[in-house]
Structure 1
Amino acid sequence: MNDSTTLTTLSDWFETEQGKQLVAYECAQIARFLPDCFGSELLQIGGPRKSEWLDASPIKHKIYLSSEIGANADGSTCVAHPFYLPFLPDSLDVILLPHSLECVQEPRALLAEACDVLKPGGFMIITGINRKSLWGIQHGYQHLKSKYSYFPWLQQFLSIHSIENKLLQNNCVIDGTHIGCYQGVGEGNAAWLKEHSLLDILGPLLWPTFGAVYVILARKKIPGWIVVPEKSLRDEFCETKVGWV
């Protein structure tokens, strides 16, 4: 992961009003998919540690991987370098990457490592900030204008298209991509969010692929099989998948 200062700043931002709004949106999306992802072991690599989405999974053995020992570490915490995961290839049923790719120097290496330890037929859920959004534009100017100093991410965002391509290269298929949250990054208080709430109403109608947050659901191919999404998952995405970005 990136340095501890960056991670601490990001964790603090998730506790702001806008950060909580973003996490609530992601929790709602993840909680829709996890009940259909079965198995014996679930791994979350970095990101905010939220019971709201983990509780939605029927998998009992849940592991949280961190690059450093934190105050909230417990028996389910695994401390390891994210580029060298301490798991056998094809050994995990579900992997969560909530904003994990944005906190590492080499996100594509992390994604390849995660795909390697995922079981054939296993699911991977990735969340992150869409580069082609108001957030992405503001992120590009944060080093030039002090007004964006509240923006917590220091790494460059990845495009949804590049992530999906990398998943395909690592023997995965894309079951769907959901995009939401159309406000820009601002002061983040309740008054500011209310003032800009109209963007979340107009966004899905006028510019559906330019939302700030994406949630990608992927599945690792089973050798010799053509992977078809289960009916419940396919139905979930039939109204929300927006295609390639």
Structure 2
Amino acid sequence: MSFHKQAPLEILLPQLKAWFDTELGKELLEAESAVVDGLLQGLYGVHLAQFSIDSRVQLFSQSQVSHCFSLVPQMELGMADNCIVADNAEVPLAHESVDVVVLHHALDFTASPHQVLREASRILRPGGHVLIVGFNPLSYWGMYRFCWRKKALPPWSGHFISHGRLSDWLKLLELTELRHLSGYHRLPFESGRWRKRLGFIGGLAKRGPGHSGAFSVLLARKDIAGMTPLRSGWGLRRLISLPVAEPSTRGSLKENS
């Protein structure tokens, strides 16, 4: 399955950061944070990893998980201490080492969205949760992107992956979808005055059936381990093993047999 070709990340990232700094970008981030906060408050564990495209955006402030950190694609000045520089399609974390994974537009801006989701599933422990935030093609924003000529500019250069396609990927990775939400129904005008003036259109979409917000959020759970764990070898030595408490009863069955 193919996606349109995007500019290299080193070119896209400054443009994305500049767009998220606009009034429209800030409004979208605020709406995304509100939805993600409500979902994260019910998820628990030791480690939470956020696959990020902007190191400044960390959506886990309301998380109950003990240790939260971000995976970012490149080193940046002023980057927080809880950031790890890594390719989202090849994450240097051990198999089944994370309790919660948050993908913040990580599938929208990558050459291989399915591989990024596969990496998220690989590092997720059985019973853990993955939370996917992405642009919704079945929205006013999706229509605007389809009609606008300057699709090479972010955020319109994103993949805008449909809920149906994401659901198929989740099933292939043996992840069970639990929730599907969407938010921010205002039109994608840069002018705040026009967004407010035409706010009644967004209100109609919000009250209508289906999920028609600018972004969608999927919550899924890894019920069974569907990936083959990495065995001993050169590949395993490159991975970061997160500290996990060892159960005190390990080996007791063998000793008592």
Structure 1 residues 209, 136: closer, same or farther in 2, change over 3 A? same
Conserved 8 A contact 2:188-2:195: no
Conserved 8 A contact 1:94-1:122: yes
Aligned with residue 18 of structure 1, among 11, 17, 24 = 24
State whether structure 2 residue 52 is matched by structure 1 residue 50. no
Where structure 1 has 5 or more consecutive residues not aligned to the other structure, the ranges are 224-245
Number of aligned residue pairs: 219
Conserved 8 A contact 1:179-1:208: no
Aligned with residue 119 of structure 1, among 125, 129, 141 = 125
Q: Greater helix share, 1 or 2?
A: 1
State whether structure 2 residue 199 is matched by structure 1 residue 192. no
Between the aligned partners of 1:149 and 1:79, the Cα distance in structure 2 is 25
**Root-mean-square deviation (CA), in Å?**
2.2
TM-score (norm 2): 0.78
Aligned with residue 180 of structure 1, among 178, 183, 186 = 183
Conserved 8 A contact 1:92-1:118: yes
Residue of structure 2 in register with 1:36 after alignment: 42
Aligned with residue 128 of structure 1, among 115, 124, 134 = 134
Q: How many angstroms does 1:207 deviate by? A: 4.6
Please give the residue correspondences for 1:140-219 in structure 2 after superposition, counting only pairs within 5 Å: 140-143=146-149, 152-187=155-190, 189-219=191-221
Between the aligned partners of 1:155 and 1:30, the Cα distance in structure 2 is 20
Structure 1 residues 155, 2: closer, same or farther in 2, change over 3 A? farther
Between the aligned partners of 2:80 and 2:53, the Cα distance in structure 1 is 16
1:165-209 CA-partner distances (Å, limit 9, x unpaired): 10111011011100222233222x321221121123211223533
Q: How many angstroms does 1:130 deviate by? A: 0.8
Residue 178 of structure 1: SS of its match in structure 2?
strand
Conserved 8 A contact 2:35-2:183: no
Where structure 2 has 5 or more consecutive residues not aligned to the other structure, the ranges are 1-6, 226-257
TM-score (norm 1): 0.82
